[in-house]
Amino acid sequence: MEIFNDKKQMNREYIMGTAENYLQKYFGYNTFRSPQEEIINNVLQGKDTVVLMPTGGGKSMCYQLPALMMEGLTLVISPLISLMKDQVDALKSNGIEAEYLNSSLSDIEERMINQKITSNQLKILYISPEKLLRSSIFGQLKYYNIKLIAIDEAHCTSQWGHDFRPEYAQLKRIRETYPEIPIIALTATADRAVRSDIAELLGMWDEQVFISSFDRPNLSLAVVPATNRYNQILKMIGKHADQSGIIYCSSRKQTEKLTEKLVSEGYDAACYHAGLDPLERSRVQAAFIEGKLKIIVATIAFGMGIDKPDVRFVMHYNLPKNLEGYYQEIGRAGRDGLPSETILFYGYGDVATQMHFINQIENEEYRKIQEDKLKRIQEYAESQICRRKVLLAYFSEQTAADCGNCDVCLNPPKYENGTIPAQMALSAITRTNEQTGMTTTIDILKGTFTPSIKENGYDTLKTFGAGRQITASNWAMYIQQFIQQGIIEIDYKDHSKLKLNEASRMVLSGQKEVKLVSYETTVERRNAGKVPKVQKAISALTPDENLFVLLRKVRKSIADKEGKLHYHVFGDATLKQMAAIVPLTKEELLRVTGVGEYKAQKYGDFFLDVISDFVKGNPELKNQSAQTFHATPEPEKKAMKPLVGKEQKNQILDLFRQKYTIEQIAAEFARSKETILKYLLEFYRNNPESLDVYQLVTHEQVELVKAAKNALDQTDRLKPYYDYFNGQLDYDVIRVSLAVLQMNQ
Ligand code: ADP
Ligand code: ZN
C-alpha cells in the first residue's frame, strides 16, 4: 500500500511539474495558487470536479490548463456572451487556439469554427447553453473528441440563486448523454443554499468539491456614515486619478443625479441602469471595460459579465439589501489582486427605505428572510470589530486574525462616556411625544430653526439647542449608536420616528451608563490615513511610477493598433512588476509574472526598448535591474509541493486530536475539506490505533452503513449508499464508515 501511494505521488508530481511548465509557458505565471494545483490534478485524472472560488481567484486556469495538457477539445459552457469573447481573446493573446459559438456569430463564422473543430485545430471552445442544447451540436459532441466539459457560472443551475437560467437547468442532459466525459463546474457564489445544489443539478456523482477561502485580502473594507457623500466620492476619484471605479446607487434616479453632477464638474462618468436603452447600455459598458470611461454610476443591474481586472474602487452610495449582493458588488474591484478600495455609506434613511419595501412583501416567510438579511448587513455596517471577520463569518468562514485592511482594524474604536448626549437625545424625543425622526430630533438638539420646527412649536422645548456644541453629523452618528445599543428604537412602520423603551428610561433616570465610540474614530476612518498591511506587502517591490506610466502608454498603443483590450496585452500587475524589476533582456522579461513565451515574443521588444531608453536617463535603475537579476543567484526552482507536506500532515493530526473539525482544519491550511479527510483516512488506514475515527462518525452511523453494505452486495462505491439513505447520510460519513468497516474486516 505504501509503495502504491508513493508511486501515485510520484506520478502526480510528474504531472504537476509538467503543469507548471505549461503555466509558465502560456501564461507567464510561476506557481499555482493554493487550490488550483489540486483541482487540476483531479481534472487530469478524469474525475468530476466542483470548484467554489471567489471572483478573481483564478477559476479559468482550472480548466484552461488541463485543456492545454490533454489532447482533444475542452468545451466551456458560459452563460454570458460578452464574457465569452473576452475570454477567447485573452486566450488567443497567449497563443492558445480557442473560439466561441453563440448566437452572435454569422453562419459563415460558425462554419469556419466547425471546420476548425473537425480538423482538430482547437484546444478550447466556449459555447452558450442555448447553442449547445438547441442546435444539432449536442448530438454531434461524440465526434468532437471532447475530453473535458467546463461549466462556468454553475450557480445559474439553481433556482435558489438570483442568476437562475432555465437552460442551465437542462445541462443535466450532458451527464446523461455523455457519462464518460468528465465535468468541472465552477462558480463564485457564496450563497450556501445554491452551492449545495450544483453537483446534483448537473447529475454528478462522486465529485470532488474544492472550496477556497472567499476572502479577498486585497480589497480594503470601509463603512462610513452617509453624510457628505459627494465630497468623499470626489476624494476617492482624486486618489485614483485615471483609474476605473464603480459607484452603486439603489435607484435609477440617484444614478442619474449623481452622474449629472459629476459630469457637470468635468469628471469622466456615465450612468448605467436597466431603464436605459440597450444600445446605450452596451456602449457604456464597453467604454468602461476598454478603460475609455473611468467611472460608472450604476444600479445593481451593472456587473454581471464584467471581467475587467483593474477596477480600483467600488463605492456604495446606499446600503445594499443583503451581504450576498454587497460582497458580489465589491468583488468587482481588484480582480488582478492589486490593492483596491471599497467604501459603503451607511445611514438610517436607507434602512428605512429597505424596510419599506420589505414590508410590502406578502409572503410572510420570504419577508422574514429579507428582514433577517437586512439585519445582518446592518450588523456588518455597525460592527466595531474587524469587518472582514463579520463578513466571512456570514459566509461560514471563520478567521482567527484581524485583517488589518478594514477601517475598524486600521482605527480601532476609542470609547468615551456618552451618557450625557444620550440623555439629551432621549429628553428631546420625550418632549416631542416621540413624534420626530432623526433629522428633526437633531434640529431640536442643535437649535436649528426650520419651518417644521416652528410649525410644531419645537423651538419652545427646553431641550431646543441643548446639544449645540456637538456637530449635526456627530449627532447623527451618536443617535445611530444609541439605536444600535437599543436605548432608542426606530419605528419603521411609523415614518421611522424615534421611540423610547425601558432601556431609554433607565438612561434618563441615571440608572444606566452609555458608552460611545468617539467621533474621532469615525473621522479618522473616513480619512483612512493609514496604509494597510497588504498594501505594504504588495508594494515591497516599488515600481518606478514614471516608468509605469510609459509602459502603460506602450500597452495602449499596442492595444489600439491590434484592436484589443489593454489588459489582454499585459495587466497592470505585470506592468507594475516590470517597472519594479526593470528587465533588460528577453530572458529577464520572461521572469516577470504574466509574461509567457508567446507574448514575450510578440510584444517583448516594444517594452524592452522603452525600458532600456528609460534606464539610460535613469542609470540608478540599471543597478536595480542588476541586483534583481544578477547579483542574487537564481532562486532554486521551488521543490514540488506534495499534496500535503509532511510537516503539514503532523500539524493536521495535531489539530484533529485537539478536536478541531475538518472544516476548521481545512480553513487553517487553505486546503479543501476533501484533502484533509483523505489524508486523515490514509493515516487511519495505516495506523488505525492512533486516530480516533469516531470523531468523524458515530458508532450508530457505522452500523447503518454496515447493514447497507450487506444489502448492497458489499460495494465500495459511494453513490449507492447515498441513494440507499436517501441522501440522509452525507458522503463524508459514508466514506469514513466504509473505511472503518474495511479495517475491521
Ligand atoms: P475568476 O474566474 O476566478 O474570477 P480568473 O480566472 O479571471 O478569475 O483569474 C483572475 C486573474 O488571476 C487573471 O488575471 C488570471 O490570469 C490570474 N491568475 C490565475 N491563476 C494564476 C496564477 N497561478 N498565478 C498568477 N495569476 C493567476
Ligand atoms: Zn479588519
Can you give the CATH number for the domain in which 190 is found?
A: 3.40.50.300
For residues 263 and 396, state if they share a domain. Answer: yes
> Whose grid coordinates read 500539524?
651
148 lies in a domain?
yes
Separation of alpha carbons 550 and 611, rounded Å: 9
219-225 and 244-248 strand pairing: unpaired
The CB of 566 under 6 Å from ligand 1? The reply is no
Q: Which tens digit of pLDDT belongs to each residue from 112-121?
A: 999 999 899 9
Same domain, yes or no: 73 and 100: yes
Is 22's C-beta closer than 6 angstroms to any atom of ligand 1?
no
Question: CA–CA separation, 187 vs 59, rounded Å?
Answer: 8
In this predicted model, what pLDDT tens digit does every residue of 50-100 receive, in sequence order?
999 988 889 999 999 999 999 899 999 998 887 898 899 999 999 999 999
Q: Are residues 198 and 223 in the same domain?
A: no
Q: Is residue 630 scored above 60 in pLDDT?
A: no
* Whether residues 203 and 99 fall in one domain: yes
User: Which ligand places an atom closest to the C-alpha of 337?
Assistant: 1
Mean pLDDT of the chain: 87
SS3 call for 673 = helix
Q: Is residue 548 part of a domain?
A: yes
CATH number, domain of 623, equals 1.10.150.80
Domain count, the chain: 5
Task: Give the whole-angstrom CA distance, residue 280 versus residue 266.
Answer: 20
Flag the least confident range among 265-269, 387-391, 413-417. Answer: 413-417
* pLDDT tens digit sequence for 293-326: 999 999 998 987 788 999 999 999 999 999 988 9
**Confidence band, pLDDT 50/70/90 cuts, at residue 2:** very low
Mean pLDDT score, 133-139? 87
In a domain, 635, yes or no: no
pLDDT tops 80 at residue 369:
yes
| Same domain flag for 47 and 183 | yes
The CA distance from 308 to 571, in Å, is 10
Give nearest CA residue, ligand 1 atom 25. 29
Q: What is the pLDDT of residue 527?
A: 65
pTM of the model: 0.71
* Ligand 1 contact via 591 beta carbon (within 6 Å): no
Closest CA to 404 of 219, 212, 665: 219
Ligand at minimal distance from the CA of 26 is 1
Query: Identity (one letter) of the amino acid at 24?
Result: Q
Q: Which residues make beta-bridge pairs with 497? A: 491
How much is the average pLDDT of 417-433? 94
Q: Is residue 360 in a domain?
A: no
Q: Give the distance (Å) from ligand 1 centre to CA of residue 36.
A: 10
Residue 286 lies in a domain: yes
User: Which ligand number lies closest to the CA of residue 56?
Assistant: 1
Mutate to test the pocket of ligand 1, among 20, 25, 27 (most ligand atoms within 8 A of CB): 27
Q: Whose CA is nearest to atom 26 of ligand 1?
A: 29
**240 and 147, same structural domain?**
no
pLDDT bin (cut points 50, 70, 90) of residue 635 is: very low
Q: How many angstroms separate the CA atoms of 388 and 402, rounded?
A: 8
Residue 265 CA to residue 290 CA, distance in Å, equals: 23
Q: What is the spatial distance between Cα 96 and Cα 116, in angstroms, rounded to a whole number?
A: 13
- Looking at the CA of residue 55, tell me the nearest atom of ligand 1: 4
Say if residue 464 is in the same domain as residue 316.
no
Distance separating alpha carbons of residues 525 and 222, to the nearest angstrom: 8
Residues 171-196: what's their mean pLDDT? 87
Atom nearest to 23 CA in ligand 1: 23
Strand 415-417 relative to strand 340-346, pairing: unpaired
Give residue 694's pLDDT band: very low, low, confident or very high (50, 70, 90): confident
Within this chain, do residues 205 and 318 fall inside the same structural domain, yes or no? no
Map grid coordinates 499596442 to a residue: 558
Q: What's the domain range around 716?
A: 646-743
Q: What is the pLDDT of residues 221-254, one digit of tens each?
A: 999 989 889 999 999 999 998 899 999 999 999 9
Task: Please state, in angstroms and as integers, the Cα–Cα distance from residue 27 to each residue in 6, 90, 122, 595, 608, following that order.
Answer: 30, 10, 18, 7, 19
49 part of a folded domain: yes
Residues 199 and 229 both lie in one domain: no
Q: Each residue of 532-562: pLDDT tens digit? A: 444 433 344 678 889 999 999 999 999 999 9
Question: How far is residue 99 from each of residues 109, 114, 565, measured CA to CA in Å?
Answer: 10, 10, 17
- Do both 394 and 458 map to the same domain? no
As a whole number, mean pLDDT of residues 612-632 equals 74
Give dist(CA 576, CA 539) in Å, integer. 9
What does DSSP say about strands 244-248 and 98-101: parallel, antiparallel, or unpaired?
unpaired
DSSP result, 250-274: SSHHHHHHHHHHHHHTT--EEEE-T
Q: What amino acid is encoded at 473 in this protein?
A: S
Q: With a 6 A CB cut-off, is 335 part of the ligand 1 pocket?
A: yes
Query: Do 237 and 344 fall into the same domain?
Result: yes
Q: How far is the CA of 391 from the centre of ligand 2 (A)?
A: 10
Phi–psi pair at 407, nearest 5 degrees = -60, -35
d(CA 547, CA 577): 11
| pLDDT computed for residue 472 by the predictor | 87
Ligand 1 atom 20 nearest Cα = 58
Predicted confidence (pLDDT) per residue in 587-609, tens digit: 999 989 899 999 999 999 999 99
Biggest CA-to-CA distance, the chain: 90
The reported pLDDT for the residue numbered 534 is 44
The answer on 335 and 234 residing in a single domain is yes
Please indicate whether residue 11 or residue 409 has the higher confidence score (pLDDT). Answer: 409
If one residue of 335, 568, 574 were mutated to test the ligand 1 pocket, choosing by the most ligand atoms within 8 A of its CB, it would be 335
Q: Which of 60, 568, 598 to mutate to test the pocket of ligand 1 (most atoms within 8 A of CB)?
A: 60
pLDDT computed for residue 638 by the predictor: 39
Q: Which ligand is nearest to the CA of 53?
A: 1
Protein residues within 5 Å, CB atom, of ion ligand 2 = 386, 388, 402-403, 406, 409
Distance 281 CA to ligand 1 centre (A): 27
More confident residue, 700 or 94: 94
Q: How far apart are CA 76 and CA 100, in angstroms?
A: 9
Decide if 78 contacts 153 (C-beta within 8 A): yes
Q: Return all residues near 553 (Cβ < 8 A) that are at least 6 apart.
A: none
Is 531 a member of any domain? no
Residue 251 domain flag: yes
